[in-house]
Amino acid sequence: MAEPQVEVRRSKRRRQTVSAYRDGDKIVVLLPARMSRAEEKRWVADMLSRLQRSETRRRSPARNSDEALVQRCRELSVKHLDGRAEPSSVRWVPPMRTRWASCTPSEGTIRVSQRLRDVPGWVLDYVLVHELAHLLVPGHGRDFWKWVERYPKTERAIGYLEGLVAASQLQIGLTDDETGAEDAEDADESDGD
């Protein structure tokens, strides 16, 4: 994975502790004010790898198979969409050039880019809720977002994905999918890549 954007903040009140967290598209590392540059460098590298490890541990079980993906969609639909989104198929597909996932509402099918296999589970959940909501409302109007925002980490997940795009310079639109026939064609074409 490409180097993420890092912001180092030093605090006079902070004496011993070092901490780090992800804030939208960047990683913030908090350090004691009196730390030397050499120590800073070592700690930043250390905290980045710790954060990455903990995010790796939080990957979704849905990463393992299409069946697990379908199961996760079922859970998310029940939890956030009143069980109303019932896809006919959900599957992992090879990385698409321009989107994280796509959906063909007329057929009830959802395809998810393998680029998302290693993101934290809560980020993948957002993408799945987004696609599931398209089975209820095509397009990205207010009605659509009302459904999606029932998923509480929507805003954070969008920030995370923006960060991923920035870090790896992917050309991926965050409003992934246009819906309908054209979209399906596009996705099929990408499948063949």
Which stretches of the chain bind Zn ion, using CB under 5 A?
A: 176-177
Residue 27 or 129: the one with the smaller Cβ distance to Zn ion is: 129
The 8-class DSSP code of residue 96 comes to P
Cβ 105 to Zn ion shortest distance, Å: 11
Residue 125 or 177: the one with the smaller Cβ distance to Zn ion is: 177
Cβ 60 to Zn ion shortest distance, Å: 19
Q: Identify the burial level of 141 via C-beta atoms within 10 angstroms of its C-beta, where 0-12 means exposed, 13-18 middle and 19 or more buried.
A: exposed
Place of tokens 């009302």: 146
Q: Residues 6 or more apart from 158 whose CB is under 8 A from it?
A: 126, 174
Residue 47 or 129: the one with the smaller Cβ distance to Zn ion is: 129
Cβ 128 to Zn ion shortest distance, Å: 12
Cβ 134 to Zn ion shortest distance, Å: 6
Write the single-letter amino acid at 10. Answer: R
Write the single-letter amino acid at 37. Answer: R
Residue 125 or 176: the one with the smaller Cβ distance to Zn ion is: 176
